[in-house]
Amino acid sequence: MPEIRFSQSVSARREQGALVVTIDNPPVNALSAHVRSGLMAALDHATDLPTITGLVITGAGSTFIGGADIKEFGKPPMEPMLSEVIDRIETFEKPVVCSVNGSALGGGCEVALACHGRIAGEKAAFGLPEVKLGIVPGAGGTQRLPRLIGTIAAIDLIGTGRTVNVSEAVALGLADGTAADPVAAALTLLRELGAKPLRRTGLMAVPTVDAAAVSAAEAKVLARARGQSAPVEAVRLVKAAGQVDLKQGLAEERGTFLRLRDSVESAALRHVFFAERAAGKVEGLETVSPRRIQTIAVVGAGLMGAGIAVSALTSGCRVIALEQTKEAAADARARIAETLDKTVRSGRMDADGRDDCIARLQTTAEAADLVTADLVIEAVFDDLQVKMDLFRRLDGILAPGTILATNTSYLDPDVIAAATTDPSRVVGLHFFSPANVMRLVEVVDCAKTAPDVLASALAFVKRLGKLPVVCGVTEGFIGNRIFSAYRREAEFMLEDGAVPDEIDAAFEAYGFPMGIFAVNDMAGLEIAWARRKRQAATRDPAARYVEIADRLCEAGRLGRKSGRGWYAYPNGERTVDPEVTAMIKAARAAKNITPRAITAEEIMGRLLKAMVDEGTALLAEGIAARPGDIDLVMINGYGFPAHKGGPMFTAQQGKDLKS
Ligand code: 3H9
């Protein structure tokens, strides 16, 4: 049958009397204006031709519909509106069935909800992830989903924005069935539907439900909301679906959607969305082919190394973990197995998956066993001499094509690379702890890193399901350099008049999960102390230097591990310690500083400024490529609240408001 074209992205062919409509709008079949108008034209066509029995809607490629076109947000609206298209589908006189070939997200899921039947292909996924963009579904999702799957499940799905796979979608009643050939199955369903009155989701009653169960589902979502408006509003709208009629519910949803779409929270989360897609893209690297990485080796399988090993195993790699002795290698195996067991206990992996990972793990005390590795990541003690010796030794053992990565946090990877005969195969992979959980990896493009080595490192990090951010060589890379800057500012404020508890409270009220001093106590104060001692000889004597942390360390207050640091921890509870307050007072007195009260607003203002100033310097030095990269590092490595967009976004907003 010839193709009928309705717009640049929507076409159809006749099959078994029906019109099979395909949306082809790469990369994700977003509902751009020409898709909406194309769908309307297809519906018109089916109305005009009495011989057409109904419509099947499907997507080209691997996505069904990825949602509204986020790039259209903030631009003048273009007719027809998505809600009109969806209303037309739901009230259409002939059956409309969707063949969900891939992800049906946001507006894509809302299109599916309005259809009279839904068949899921094997790769289908359904979700209303709008809250992750700081908005609520704006084309009926909050009103139709509870009608179809009940209030509790709808609160969970819309409130968290999580995506469900085919089996869960079928179990929830979100999909009517699944098929290897979803278009053929949709055509069969269409014929069946044609014989009876059409099932219009919007006209269904929301199933009645126990109020206590609703409150429990709501509480679960709100506990994760951490100051964000969208999940709160989403839950309110889902609950309203059971209390008001469709028209009123849709009007309430639309108003909320528009209000949130124009909020700073949504702009921040959209910035994060696009920053994540831009991260890891390096100019000039598009045409470079990455090397094949199937076997990786981890040298040093302590907490960090074991985390990296688990991450690689769960992504399907073969892993060789090297330790110094057979006993240490056996301990490493036990540590990795225990982490995998934990994943099984949490339900994120089944026992077969764990066994499969263990089968791909080799632990050894023989460096020669590393010869089969495509990539070797060192995660040994952060000491320059230790790392240089290791790289020199590995350089003599490994095949010439093997990539060598250092996981150093503060040392200079160029110096480590110089210990090898071929520094072009050296790259930095700075994982964050625990490495099997944390998404962020700073990929350090060293002075001599070859383009295909960088491309391989990026591809490997993406394969682990993690977020790579490229940075140049500097002490502490992007994250720890910014962390040092705002920690320094926090210590200045101690001298100026604040106490650790006030600074941490302001930081946590802003949305960080844990205050700066509490984080220091958790990580331990001794590493930074050792660094300060190393740097003492070269420190600018005119620069302001706060000695309080040194006094704490000298007093044996090394953080939680030693039972006390910036705080005391009686019964494990973080508590203000008068001894620390006295040390701070003594430090002020020694410098003749008269303390003054510092408000939470000033505290946060100064900390943010420290982050932004350091971020600006990193950009100027070419260490970071984009402000968005800096924001991603702060959000994913240091707990900056994502719904505030990161320090660079916040600073830009401030400038935009002033101009
Ligand atoms: C919504 O629907 C609101 C409605 O309720 C109501 C409206 C009235 N728009 O992620 P990838 C781009 S809100 C525009 O790497 P994958 C992305 O920027 C929307 N562009 O691919 C990237 O561009 P580039 C609710 C989009 O295969 C390219 O596509 N929907 C959109 O790993 C590839 O992206 C969502 O929140 C979009 N909606 O994953 C879903 N989506 O190549 C958001 C992607 O220039 N999208 N792009 O860097 C996703 O979760 C993933 O993209 C998806 C594919 C799973 C679809």
Q: Which amino acid is located at 72 in the chain?
A: E
Q: What are phi and psi of 274, to 5 degrees?
A: -75, -35
What three-state secondary structure class fits 369? helix
Q: What is the pLDDT of residue 331?
A: 96
Sign of the torsion formed by the C-alpha atoms of 570, 572, 573 and 579 = positive
Q: What is the DSSP letter of 624?
A: B
pLDDT digits (tens, 9 = 90+) for 540-595: 989 999 999 999 999 999 999 899 999 999 988 999 999 999 999 999 999 999 99
493: tokens are 């404020």
| Cα(73) to centroid(ligand 1), Å | 13
Number of Cβ within 10 Å of residue 196's Cβ equals: 8
| 320-373 pLDDT per residue, tens | 999 999 999 999 999 999 999 999 999 899 999 999 999 999 999 999 999 999
Among 459, 305, 289, 295, CA closest to 375: 295
Q: Whose CA is nearest to atom 53 of ligand 1?
A: 66
Q: Which of 28, 100, 130 to mutate to test the pocket of ligand 1 (most atoms within 8 A of CB)?
A: 28
- The backbone torsions φ and ψ at residue 164, rounded to the nearest 5 degrees and listed phi first, read -110, 145
Residue 67 CA to ligand 1 centre (angstroms): 7
Sheet holding 318-322, edge to edge: 361-364, 318-322, 295-299, 375-378, 403-406, 426-431, 440-444, 467-471
Using alpha carbons, select from 284, 280, 151 the residue that is nearest to residue 205.
Answer: 151
Out of 191-195, 504-508, 518-522, least confident range: 191-195
The whole-angstrom separation of Cα 54 and Cα 60 is: 19
Which numbered atom of ligand 1 lies nearest the CA of 274? 18
State which ligand 1 atom lies nearest to the alpha carbon of 277: 48
Pocket of ligand 1 (CB under 6 A): 27-28, 30, 63, 66-71, 82, 103, 105-107, 110, 129-130, 133, 137-139, 141, 274, 277
Ligand 1 atom closest to Cα of residue 133: 36
For atom 45 of ligand 1, which residue has the closest CA? 277
Q: For residue 528, what pLDDT is reported? A: 86
| Tally of CB atoms within 10 A around 555 | 14
Task: Please give the structure tokens belonging to residue 368.
Answer: 């020669």
Q: Whose CA is nearest to atom 48 of ligand 1?
A: 277
Which residues are CB-neighbours of 283 under 8 A, at least 6 positions away?
Answer: none
| Ligand 1 atom with least separation from CA of 83 | 8
Pairing of strands 177-178, 375-378: unpaired
Query: H/E/C letters for each residue in 413-448?
Result: HHHHHCCCCCHHHEEEEEECCCCCCCCEEEEECCCC
pLDDT of the residue at 590? 95
Q: How far is the CA of 195 from the centre of ligand 1 (A)?
A: 37
pLDDT 10s digits, 364-418 = 999 999 999 999 999 998 889 999 999 999 999 999 999 999 999 889 999 999 9
Work out the percent of the chain whose per-residue pLDDT is above 70. 99
**Is residue 35 a contact partner of residue 93, using CB atoms and an 8 Å limit?**
no
Partnered with residue 127 across adjacent β-strands are 105, 163
In what helix (H) or strand (E) does residue 276 lie, and over which residues does it extend? helix 264-278
Question: Which residue's alpha carbon is nearest to atom 24 within ligand 1?
Answer: 277
Return the residue whose CA atom lies nearest to atom 19 of ligand 1: 67
Could you tell me if residue 241 is left (phi over 0), alpha (psi between -120 and 50 degrees) or otherwise beta?
alpha
Residue nearest ligand 1's atom 8 by CA: 138
Is the C-alpha dihedral spanning 625, 626, 628, 633 positive or negative? positive
- DSSP class of residue 77 equals P
Strand boundaries in 112-227, DSSP class E:
117-120, 125-127, 163-165, 177-178
Instruction: Calculate helix-pair angle for 107-114, 82-90, nearest 10 degrees.
Output: 20
- Residue 273 alpha carbon to ligand 1 centre in Å: 9
Distance (Å, rounded) from C-alpha 310 to C-alpha 353? 12
Q: Residues near 657 by Cβ (< 8 Å), separated by ≥ 6? A: none
Q: What is the mean pLDDT of the chain?
A: 95
Distance CA 88, CA 112 (A): 13
Q: What is the three-state SS of 557-613?
A: CCEHHHCECCCECHHHCCECCHHHHHHHHHHHHHCCCCCCCCCHHHHHHHHHHHHHH
The pLDDT assigned to 659 comes to 65
Distance 636 CA to ligand 1 centre (A): 20
Annotated catalytic sites, by residue? 409, 430, 442, 480
DSSP H or E segment with residue 160: helix 151-160
pLDDT, tens digit, 9 for 90 and up, residues 482-493:
999 999 999 999
Q: How many C-alpha atoms does 442 have within 13 Å on its Cβ side?
A: 36
Measured from the CA of 281, which atom of ligand 1 is nearest?
Answer: 48
DSSP SS3 for 72 = helix
Task: Please say whether the beta carbons of 525 and 487 come within 8 A.
Answer: no
CA torsion 618-620-622-626 (nearest 10°) is: 70
Q: Please give the radius of gyration of the chain, using alpha carbons only, rounded to the nearest integer.
A: 28
Pairwise CA distance, residues 587 & 554, whole Å: 14
Distance of CA 66 from the midpoint of ligand 1 (Å): 5
Question: Residue whose CA is closest, atom 40 of ligand 1?
Answer: 66
Which stretches does DSSP call E strand in 294-439? 295-299, 318-322, 361-364, 375-378, 403-406, 426-431
Q: Phi and psi of 163, rounded to 5°? A: -100, 140
Which amino acid does the sequence have at 538? T
Nearest to 519 by CA among 570, 478, 567: 567
Does residue 2 register a pLDDT over 80? yes
For residue 132, give the ligand 1 atom closest to its CA: 36
Residue 657 binned pLDDT confidence (cut-offs 50, 70, 90): low
Kindly report the number of other CB atoms within 10 A of residue 593's CB atom: 12
Contacts of 539 (CB under 8 A, 6+ apart): 545
Distance separating alpha carbons of residues 463 and 466, to the nearest angstrom: 7
Residue with CA closest to ligand 1 atom 10: 277
547 C-alpha to center of ligand 1: Å? 49
Distance 134 CA to ligand 1 centre (A): 14
**Contact call for residues 469 and 565 (beta carbons, < 8 A):** no
Summarised one tens digit per residue, pLDDT across range 187-240 is 999 999 988 889 999 999 999 999 999 999 999 999 988 889 999 999 999 999
Q: Tell me the C-alpha distance between 279 and 468, whole Å.
A: 7
Q: Above pLDDT 90, what percent of the chain? A: 92
Q: Give nearest CA residue, ligand 1 atom 43.
A: 66
Report CA(29)–ligand 1 centroid distance (Å): 9
User: Cα–Cα distance between 653 and 636 in angstroms, integer?
Assistant: 20
Could you identify the atom of ligand 1 that is nearest to the CA of residue 110? 5
Mutate which of 23, 36, 70, 123 for ligand 1? The one with the most ligand atoms within 8 Å of its CB, which is: 70
Please state, in angstroms and rounded to a whole number, the distance separating the CA atoms of residues 650 and 397: 48
Q: Residue 196: its pLDDT value, please?
A: 86
